Amino acid sequence: MGQGVSGTLFSWFCEQHNLDFIVIDNVPANSPSKTAAGLINPVTGRRVVTVWMDDIIIPFAENTYRQIGTKLGIEAISKMDIVDFFPNPFMKESFLKKMSQQAPYISLSKDEHYWNEHFNYEFGTGIIEPAYIVHLQQLLPAWRQYLITHNKFINQVFDFNKLVVSDYGVQYENIEADAVIFCDGVEGNANPYFSLLPFALNKGEAIIIEAPALPGGHIYKKSMTLVPFGEPGIFWAGTNYIWDFDDDLPTDAFRKYTEQNLSNWLKVPFKITDHKAAVRPATVERRPFVGMHPVYRNAGILNGMGTKGCSLAPYFAWQLVQHLVLQTPIEKEADVARHTRILSRTQP
Ligand SMILES: Cc1cc2nc3c(=O)[nH]c(=O)nc-3n(C[C@H](O)[C@H](O)[C@H](O)COP(=O)(O)OP(=O)(O)OC[C@H]3O[C@@H](n4cnc5c(N)ncnc54)[C@H](O)[C@@H]3O)c2cc1C
């Protein structure tokens, strides 16, 4: 259940393994997968630390999105560099220190002044590469259309009252199956089978701008990130992390802050065309939830992607399908079995 990036990748690998399946999703106007920039960044944070399992997860993701793109006749992923504008001398120093330790993915720009025509900046730029953009705005509807054409999609709110999970399989209305896999993102926090897991939901926002004079083909980063978004001249600008929130709506504060920031940073004209917000299905340990329920063994989960659904979902969707078909183990840190004690208290 669910067709965000997790459900898309999970159903893709079901199809690759010739499994019989059906996807149920209520196609909301707003979800994190519809709000995300789609960025895969190999490093993270102020100290430009290489991300978890980068050498396995990132090449796997690139390869998978390219295969899906070929099948659907779309460009599902693009490779780009990130131009990292140092906001102050300390950040530059930290970047240089990391470079001196032979850290992968990072280098210094050859020409410090290259971006003077487009941006205001004082402390030079670094380069992070390769990075990727997953074109979720094209990929998700194209995959949904493919599923609809092959009678594998139901547009509906999944009703847990109609689900029976037994030791022999699952029944949902007139559908009988071996298993149900929940890829329900932030709603997983209220899912009667998995709500006890330590989710740590947080809200994020983005502004969409039109800036026709800004070159595409690069991602730009200073105190925010600017990502080419779908069409030429359109950029996604974000984001923030709000831990205490009452709703998933855009806030005036973010819009004002971002507009001000962009006005200071960009030398080229821009116009705001949209403002989005959604809640990320993040987890306390910053690791996904992947695998089958320890008590209700035919109910499984692929969730907890946090800020990194685009890079994590392909590999862990594949691992989960492999686990279902061949009983191969799931990566320990991601395996939901680490929460067996908590999940044993489940009362759906
Ligand atoms: C502002 C912002 C920026 C982000 N930027 C990036 C980025 O650049 N790169 C990156 O990798 N990640 C990014 N993320 C995080 C990324 O969006 C998430 O990791 C990812 O979208 C999670 O995908 P998912 O499929 O697990 O969940 P979701 O996207 O939440 O999908 C779950 C799906 O299940 C459906 N569903 C749930 N319950 C039911 C039900 N009862 N019945 C029917 N359907 C149901 C929902 O409608 C939805 O379609 C960003 C998030 C935000 C908020």
In this structure, are 43 and 143 located in the same domain?
no
In this structure, are 313 and 189 located in the same domain?
yes
CA of 13: how far to CAs of 8, 146, 266, 323, 324, in Å?
9, 14, 42, 12, 11
Q: Of the residues 258, 279, 300, which one is the last residue of a structural domain?
A: 279
Output the CA 88–ligand 1 centroid distance in Å.
Answer: 33
Q: Which residues contact 204 (CB under 8 A, 6 or more apart)?
A: 32, 35, 238, 239, 240, 241, 242, 277, 278, 279, 280, 307
Average pLDDT, the chain: 96
pLDDT of 222: 95
Cβ contact 182:193 at 8 Å: yes
In this structure, are 127 and 150 located in the same domain?
no
Partnered with residue 50 across adjacent β-strands are 43
Instruction: Give the Cα separation of 309 and 240 in Å (integer).
Output: 16
Partnered with residue 23 across adjacent β-strands are 153
In this structure, are 26 and 49 located in the same domain?
no
99 — phi, psi (to 5°)? -60, -40
> Does any domain span residue 317?
yes
Output the CA 278–ligand 1 centroid distance in Å.
Answer: 8
CATH code for the domain of 268: 3.30.70
Diameter over CA atoms, the chain = 65
Q: Name the token pair of 284.
A: 């306390």
> Does any domain span residue 55?
yes
262 — phi, psi (to 5°)? -65, -40
Q: Which residues line ligand 1 (CB under 6 A)?
A: 1-7, 24-26, 28, 31-33, 35-39, 157-158, 183-187, 204-206, 238-239, 278, 280-281, 303, 305-311
Number of domain units in the chain: 3
In this structure, are 169 and 224 located in the same domain?
no
Q: Name the token pair of 213.
A: 């004079």
Segment 55-84, tens digit of pLDDT? 999 999 999 999 999 999 999 999 999 999
CA 100 to chain centre: 31
In this structure, are 167 and 293 located in the same domain?
yes
Cβ contact 184:302 at 8 Å: no
> Does any domain span residue 234?
yes
Residue 60, domain extent = 39-134
In this structure, are 175 and 288 located in the same domain?
yes
In this structure, are 147 and 234 located in the same domain?
no
222 vs 47 pLDDT, higher one: 222
Instruction: Give the Cα separation of 187 and 83 in Å (integer).
Output: 35
Return the amino acid letter for 10.
Answer: F
Instruction: Give the Cα separation of 165 and 100 in Å (integer).
Output: 55
pLDDT higher than threshold 90 for residue 230: no
pTM above 0.95, yes or no: yes
Instruction: Report the percentage of the chain scoring pLDDT > 90.
Output: 96
> Does any domain span residue 335?
yes
CATH code for the domain of 155: 3.50.50.60
In this structure, are 220 and 170 located in the same domain?
no
> Does any domain span residue 269?
yes
pLDDT higher than threshold 90 for residue 112: no
In this structure, are 292 and 186 located in the same domain?
yes
Segment 24-35, tens digit of pLDDT? 999 988 889 899
pLDDT of 143: 98
Instruction: Give the Cα separation of 214 and 266 in Å (integer).
Output: 9
> Does any domain span residue 348?
no
Output the CA 302–ligand 1 centroid distance in Å.
Answer: 11
**3-class SS at 95?**
helix
Q: Of the residues 231, 261, 279, which one is the last residue of a structural domain?
A: 279
Q: Of the residues 79, 111, 134, which one is the last residue of a structural domain?
A: 134
Segment 155-190, tens digit of pLDDT? 999 999 999 999 999 999 999 999 999 999 999 999
Instruction: Give the Cα separation of 214 and 269 in Å (integer).
Output: 9
In this structure, are 73 and 21 located in the same domain?
no
Output the CA 71–ligand 1 centroid distance in Å.
Answer: 23
In this structure, are 146 and 14 located in the same domain?
yes
Q: Does 239 sit behind a cis peptide bond, omega within 30 degrees of 0 on the bond before it?
A: yes
Cβ contact 261:224 at 8 Å: yes
